């Protein structure tokens, strides 16, 4: 009886955290599953550093911004829509960015409602991106100060966490 109550309590705790089975449980001292997914996406995107920008590019030789993050998350097991605007609409949106989140900008062909540029957050005000013609895939700063220095896009529309609903 005691064992059954313990198992039922553990199952309820797992379900309460959104996990359907115990094989996906978080072990103390190990990263949460979402952090592991984000790390895989960042690792894959980082390995593309130096490749050229190509409008509509989804690799393997060249990328545009949304093609890069779409492929990075595909390699981490998460399917994302193709364009920055579609990725923004897919969400879920967050207000406190973490490593692996997507960061969105109006971009040259976008608006505040339908962003035209996306990058993959690697740290505070840093992201991996495929920025535009003549700028290789790489890690760059983002935010208004970066835009003023000419090294990255400016004002952030917001962030989304593609792995939050997939864990």
pTM of the model: 0.76
Q: Is 106 or 25 the better-scoring residue by pLDDT?
A: 106
pLDDT band at 32 (very low <50, low <70, confident <90, very high): low
Residue ranges of domains in the chain: 1-30, 32-160
The architecture in CATH of the region 32-160 reads: Alpha-Beta Complex (3.90)
Q: Is 164 or 117 the better-scoring residue by pLDDT?
A: 117
The residue-averaged pLDDT of 53-59 equals: 97
Asked whether the predicted pLDDT for residue 159 surpasses 90, the reply is yes
**Percentage of the chain exceeding pLDDT 70:** 72
Average pLDDT value for the chain = 79
166, burial (CB in 10 Å: exposed 0-12, middle 13-18, buried 19+): middle
């Amino acid at each position: 009886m005691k064992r059954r109550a313990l198992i039922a309590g553990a199952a309820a705790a797992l379900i309460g955290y959104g996990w359907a089975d115990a094989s996906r449980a978080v072990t103390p001292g190990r990263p949460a599953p979402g952090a592991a997914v984000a790390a895989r996406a960042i690792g894959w995107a980082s390995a593309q550093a130096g490749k050229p920008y190509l409008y509509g590019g989804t690799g393997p030789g060249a990328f545009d911004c949304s093609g890069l993050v779409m492929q990075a998350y595909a390699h981490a097991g998460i399917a994302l829509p193709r364009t920055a605007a579609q990725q923004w609409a897919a969400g879920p949106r967050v207000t406190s960015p973490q490593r692996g989140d997507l960061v969105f900008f109006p971009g040259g062909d976008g608006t505040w409602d339908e962003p035209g540029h996306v990058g993959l957050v690697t740290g505070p005000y840093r992201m991996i991106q495929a920025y535009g013609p003549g700028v290789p895939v790489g890690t760059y700063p983002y935010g208004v100060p970066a835009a003023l220095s000419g090294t990255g896009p400016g004002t952030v529309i917001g962030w989304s966490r593609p792995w939050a609903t997939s864990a």
